[in-house]
Amino acid sequence: MIRGDFLSLNESKKKKRASKVDKVIKKLSDTLDGGRLSTQRADLLSYSHDYWPIYLHWMLEDRYPSVPDAVVWPESIEDVRDIVRWCYRGKVPIYPYGGGSGVLGGAVPEKGGIVVDLKRMRSLKLHKKDLLVEAESGLNGYYLEDYLNERGYTMGNIPQSLYPSTVGGWVGTKALGQFSTKYGGIEDMLKGIEVVVPPGKLIELKPHPRTATGPDLRKFFVGSEGTMGIITKGWFKIWPEPEKRIKLSYASNSLKDAVESIRRIMRRGAEPAVIRIYDEIETKRHFYEYDDIYGKVATVMIIEGDETLADAESKIVREEFVGKEKGEKPVDHWLETRFSIKEASEFVPMGVVFDTIEVAVGWSGAAKLYENVVGALKPIKGVLFASAHASHFYPQGICFYFTFAGTPPRKKDAEGFYQQAWEEAMKAVINSGGTVSHHHGVGRQRRRWMSEELEEGYELLKKIKQKVDKRGIMNPGDMGL
Amino acid sequence: MPDKMDWLKDEMSGVSKLTQFSTVMKFLKGKVSGPSDVVKCAMCPNMCRHACPISIVDGKETTSPAGKSRVGMMLENEVLRFNEENVFPLQMCLSCGCCENWCPFDFSVSDILRPQREESIKQGVDFKQFDEMFKALEMHGSVHGKVGKEKNYPEEGEVLYLRGCEFRENDQRVIDKTMQLFEKLDESAFVLPGEECCGIPAYNAGNTALFEELAKKMAKKINMSSAKKVVTSCPSCAYAYERLYPEFSQGLDVEVLHMVEYLEEKKRLLNLEKKGGSVTFHEPCKLVNGLGKKKSMRDVLENSGLSLKIPRRSGEKTFCCGYGGTTVSRLNEELSSSINEERLKELKGLSKNIVTACPSCKEAFQDNHGDVKVYDIAELFNRLL
């Protein structure tokens, strides 16, 4: 197998520790019988990647640069503890795996070792009176939301990856969904957590409405991307299903008009669950069927909840928004198409290199950041388009979700082109005062900007990692840890 | 109204000619075809995973819908060799078609991976469980081997009731009840002497040659009978007769209906008075997705007079019983049983009386758990009428 350029794995390293890994696999196969461990080639190749877009190109070229030594499917806490115990003893890397829909290589088994797929741990329990749901980390996201909806509740976490992703993946990557402006991110929903940390200890932090027992260790594991332990369960805040849903859409003459409108709306305390503002290119891309919106800046919005509150919020929106109201149809269109990602399947095999880059910035820097990032991406030789929509909002600022796509120019391969685009975009974000990641996380693709973003905080994070995971077995290399 | 890709053509018009985007431009203009279906599926992050019973219960990337396509792609590209170990994941498919409901390309993973399954048979990949089944089909025309003693029924009439391998082998009582129902509905029903398998188990396992052979035989027998209409209790048989036979030039001269479609036609006669008791129902995947009858079973049952408990996963969200598609239950019985438990848990929470409309589903539910009463839909209406 050809090794990838971005990953540090190499054959010699792998050979040296082969006997150690084999011993651990032997021990684990004694414990995890009944098909809970595999070293079969098809399984190893299947777990060599997540949905990191550059990996799609490698797969098409038959390149699998990060093949694990084994894959395990634990079915209980005891299974997980055994896995961590044996891997700790043998100093064998562990990579927790959920739905594999992460886009930054966070689940890529870069240094070989054992991939731990949690999808067989999927029990759930509803606590109606406390408005909580208790879910094991391998539970499918759609399964959970559908289960809650049938019983009159929602968790409100609807990422585009709802169908393939898992609850543990949401916590591990600090995910958030399309309805986040009202319901928040996973960090707002998580009330309790259960984690197995090296050398195999179980930590259970029970759910409370609030607790002041020192630094919040629950939050410590949110976004830890498998580098500190294996998340096995979470307790999450849920809501009664909304009584009323109001769908609004607007066409504005400029991005600035729409963005400023939302700033004023948020400042007045209204929190529409969904707000999405598309720049001109993305308006053309997503709303080509609407002649009166094409070429403008489209905004779609969903306000939901208690009827009195929803009506009041829609009144604020109508008072503040600068743009022409376009009714419910564009919102319905968005609802129908919001999970479609077919373009990746069509264009990547044609040689198109693409990615999405989500970042956040305060209101005062919003316009500048948008212009700087699009302005940095467009001139790169080979870029076909660079565009953005604003997808998540706070009283303090905004998340921009950039998309770029292109074909590598002559003398440049897919990786070279891809990394150049990332370099330019990240530089522009940092220079514009933004944060390099809003909700996709860090993984392996963003690790080289961690130090610049966190500065001394990154050194502290590394020290904490060394204490929690002395032998460096938990997802080594992710976030540069 | 602008075309879907006009925005991209606009953006590309400003891009330097030095870049190698001619293929993309040709693709946008429809001058070159895009990637194959398997590749498209392999490039997806599994946006139908939540609907796939295998994926939910097995939890493996390798047997997830896009995961199977990735294995298919690796086989095509010779990254993996055709052997039992590598072909096994492709066979972990219930052919339920649940993936298709969520796919922007309308792909059914079972269909798009047929060429690889066929190739594996051609290359001699030998699952002994399949060999036994193929032999039984070749020698006895039944998936279970030689058919035992059967009750005598009329051998001529207007409505030909095709009993199917499963009921003939395991539940002849249902055949009897179904014939009684036909009588109550004033139908001149009969059975086919020398009825054989429709061939779909061979088709599912990738043995197209054997399927064609069986299809040829059954099409000839049916077309030579006195039937004006064919009714079958098995949705997979109905799917084979309705959809696959014409594809393989073995079309039938008469209309074929699955029992639910037949009862839908007779709905007026079945409009029964309200009575005590509740039932829940399990819609077979081949009925819902294969034959496209998304709501028919529920509509028919709404006329039963019983209180109907609707499962969370119903209609196009139905969840396979675990025994669909021939291959999984033969190669991985434990997985079939686990999927069955998952489904049964949901149904049992609603009612201890479960109605289904597929011999395999009925068999699976009643075999695995004795604390529920499982009815075939014809059996239920025979009892109610």
Same structural domain, B241 and B282: no
pLDDT (tens digit per residue) in B27-42: 887 888 889 999 999 9
Q: Look at residue A2 and tell me if it is in a domain.
A: no
Residue B61 lies inside a defined structural domain of this protein: yes
Q: Rounded distance, CA B80 to CA B350, Å?
A: 45
CB contact under 8 A, B47 and A100: no
Same domain, A332 and A346: no
Distance of alpha carbon A392 from alpha carbon A399, whole angstroms: 5
Q: Are residues A331 and A355 in the same domain?
A: no
Does residue B301 form part of some domain? yes
| Residue A236 shares a structural domain with residue A134 | yes
The verdict on B172 and B203 lying in the same domain is: yes
Let me know whether B373 and B346 are in one domain: yes
**Model confidence band, residue A381 (pLDDT cutoffs 50, 70, 90):** very high
Mean pLDDT score of chain A: 95
Of the residues A119, A136, A154, the one at which a domain ends: A119
CATH number at residue A329: 3.30.70.3450
- Pairwise CA distance, residues A196 & A174, whole Å: 18
State chain B's mean pLDDT as an integer. Answer: 93
Residue B24, pLDDT score: 80
Rounded to an integer, the average pLDDT of B133-143 is 95
Do A129 and A217 share a domain, yes or no? yes
* Position B4 in a domain: no
Which of A119, A142, A164 is the last residue before a domain boundary? A119
Contact call for B312 and A147, based on CB within 8 A: yes
Residues A80 and A178 in one domain: no
Q: Are residues A401 and A332 in the same domain?
A: no
pLDDT in tens, A31-88: 998 899 999 999 999 999 999 999 999 999 999 999 999 999 999 999 999 999 999 9
Same domain, B327 and B378: yes
Contacts of B85 in chain A (CB under 8 A): 40-42
Q: Is the pLDDT of residue A11 over 70?
A: no
In a domain, B21, yes or no: no
- pLDDT for the residue numbered B12: 82
Q: Are residues B232 and B211 in the same domain?
A: yes
Assess whether A376 and A325 both reside in one domain.
no
User: What's the confidence (pLDDT) of residue A16?
Assistant: 55
Are B39 and A349 within 8 A, CB to CB?
yes
B271-286 per-position pLDDT tens digit: 788 878 899 999 999 9
> Is residue A470 in a domain?
no
Q: Would A445 be classed as within a structural domain?
A: no
What average pLDDT does range A464-479 have in this prediction? 97
Within a domain: residue B193? yes
B258 with B274, same domain: the answer is no
Interatomic CA distance for residues B51 and A461, integer angstroms: 39
* Cβ distance of A410 and B18 shorter than 8 Å: yes
- Inside any domain, residue A251: yes
Say if residue A284 is in the same domain as residue A307: yes
CB distance A202 to B87 below 8 Å? no
Q: The domain that contains B212 carries what CATH number?
A: 3.40.50.1860
- Is the pLDDT confidence value at A275 over 50? yes
A450-463 mean pLDDT: 97
Name the pLDDT band for A12 (thresholds 50, 70, 90). very low
In sign, the C-alpha dihedral spanning B259, B265, B268, B274 is positive
State which residue of chain B sits closest to A75, comparing Cα positions.
Answer: B59
Q: Which residues of B touch A407 (CB under 8 A)?
A: 19-21, 23-24
Instruction: Give the pLDDT of residue B271.
Output: 79
**Contact at CB, A117 and B61, closer than 8 angstroms:** yes
Is A17's pLDDT higher than 70? no
Mutation pick from A46, A125, A292 vs chain B, by most beta carbons of B within 10 Å, is A46
Q: Give CA–CA dist A418/A54, Å, rounded.
A: 7
Same domain, B140 and B78: no
Q: How far is A47 from chain B (nearest CA, A)?
A: 7
Counting one residue from chain A and one from chain B, the pairs whose CB atoms sit within 8 A come to 171
Name, in order, each residue with C-beta under 8 angstroms of B218's C-beta and a sequence gap of 6 or more: B195, B196, B197, B198, B199, B241, B250
Q: What is the percent of chain A where pLDDT is above 90?
A: 94
B353 vs A9, more confident: B353
Mean pLDDT score, B11-29: 71
- Structural domain count of chain A: 4
> Looking at residue A195, which CATH number applies to its domain?
3.30.465.10
Segments forming the whole domain that contains residue A352:
342-440
Quick one: B167 and B113 in the same domain? Answer: no
| Subunit contact A382:B19, Cβ cutoff 8 A | yes
Confidence of residue B106 (pLDDT cuts 50, 70, 90): very high
H/E/C letters for each residue in chain B? CCCCCHHHHHHHHCCCCCCCCHHHHHHHCCCCCCCCHHHHHHCCCCCCHHHCHHHHHHCCCCCCHHHHHHHHHHHHCCCCCCCHHHHHHHHCCCCCCHHHHHCCCCCCHHHHCHHHHHHHHHCCCCCHHHHHHHHHHHHHCCCCCCCCCCCCCCCCCCEEEECHHHHHHHCHHHHHHHHHHHHHCCCCEECCCCCCCCCHHHHHCCCHHHHHHHHHHHHHHHHHCCCCEEEECCHHHHHHHHHHHHHCCCCCCCEEEEHHHHHHHCHHHHCCCCCCCEEEEECCHHHHHHCCCCCHHHHHHCCCCCEEECCCCCHHHCCCCCCCCCHHHHHCHHHHHHHHHHHHHHHHCCCCEEEECCHHHHHHHHHHCCCCEEEEHHHHHHHHC
Looking at the fold, whether A130 and A232 belong to one and the same domain comes out as yes
- In a domain, residue A333? The reply is yes
Of A42, A291, A345, the CB nearest to B71: A42
**What would the pLDDT profile of A194-204 be if each residue is shown by its tens digit?**
999 999 999 99
Instruction: Round to whole Å and give the CA distance between B382 and B385.
Output: 5
CB-CB under 8 Å, B105 with A51: no
Asked which of B72, B95, B124 is the last residue of a domain, the reply is B124
Distance in Å, alpha carbon of A57 to nearest chain B alpha carbon: 9
A447 lies in a domain? Answer: no
Q: Which of B227, B244, B264 is the last residue of a domain?
A: B264
Question: For residue B322, is it within any domain?
Answer: yes
Residue A185 lies in a domain: yes
* Same domain assignment for residues B155 and B107: no
Rounded to an integer, what distance in angstroms lies between the CA atom of residue B31 and that of residue A347?
Answer: 15
pLDDT digits (tens, 9 = 90+) for B125-135: 989 999 999 99
Cβ separation B35–A345 shorter than 8 A: yes
CB-nearest to A42 from B16, B56, B85 is: B85
Per-residue pLDDT for A4 more than 60? no
Helix-strand-coil percent breakdown of chain A, rounded to 5? 40, 20, 40
Residue A220, number of CB atoms within 10 A of its CB: 16
pLDDT at B32: 81
Complex ipTM more than 0.90, yes or no: yes
Residue A228 pLDDT: 98
In this structure, are B115 and B137 located in the same domain?
Answer: no
Mean pLDDT along residues A420-435: 98
A85 and A137 in a single domain? The answer is no
Q: 3-class DSSP state for residue A338?
A: coil
* A198, A219, A240 - which closes a domain: A240
Q: State whether B276 and B231 are in the same domain.
A: no
Residues A128 and A234 in one domain: yes
Least CB–CB distance from B43: residue in A43, A46, A349: A349
Instruction: Assess whether the previous peptide bond of A199 is cis (omega < 30° from 0).
Output: yes
Both B231 and B154 in one domain: the answer is yes
> Are B12 and A385 within 8 A, CB to CB?
yes
Average pLDDT over residues A160-172: 98
Q: State the pLDDT confidence band at B20, using cuts at 50, 70 and 90.
A: low
Q: Determine contact, residues A55/A414, Cβ cutoff 8 Å.
A: no
CATH code, A394: 3.30.300.330
- The pLDDT of residue A7: 54
pLDDT tens digit sequence for B360-385:
999 999 876 668 899 999 999 999 99
**The pLDDT of residue A2 is above 50:** no
Task: Judge whether B340 and B364 are in contact, CB under 8 Å.
Answer: yes
Q: From the CA of B80, how many Å to the nearest CA of chain A?
A: 7
**Which of B34, B43, B102 is closest, CB to CB, to A56?**
B43
Which member of B8, B15, B62 has the closest CB to residue A42? Answer: B62
B183-228, pLDDT tens digit by residue? 999 999 999 999 999 999 999 999 999 999 999 999 999 999 999 9
How many folded domains does chain B comprise? 3
In a domain, A193, yes or no: yes
Q: Which of B244, B264, B284 is the last residue of a domain?
A: B264
| Residue ranges making up the domain that contains B82 | 35-124
B30 part of a folded domain: no
Residue A9 has pLDDT above 60, yes or no: no
Cross-chain residue pair B45–A101, CB shorter than 8 Å: yes
Smallest CA–CA separation between B55 and chain A, in Å? 9
In whole angstroms, what is the distance from residue A412 CA to residue A5 CA?
Answer: 14
Residue B174, domain member (yes or no): yes
Asked whether the predicted pLDDT for residue A396 surpasses 80, the reply is: yes
Q: Encode pLDDT of A309-359 as tens digits.
A: 999 999 999 999 999 999 999 999 999 999 988 999 999 999 999 999 999
Asked if pLDDT for residue A135 goes beyond 80, the answer is yes
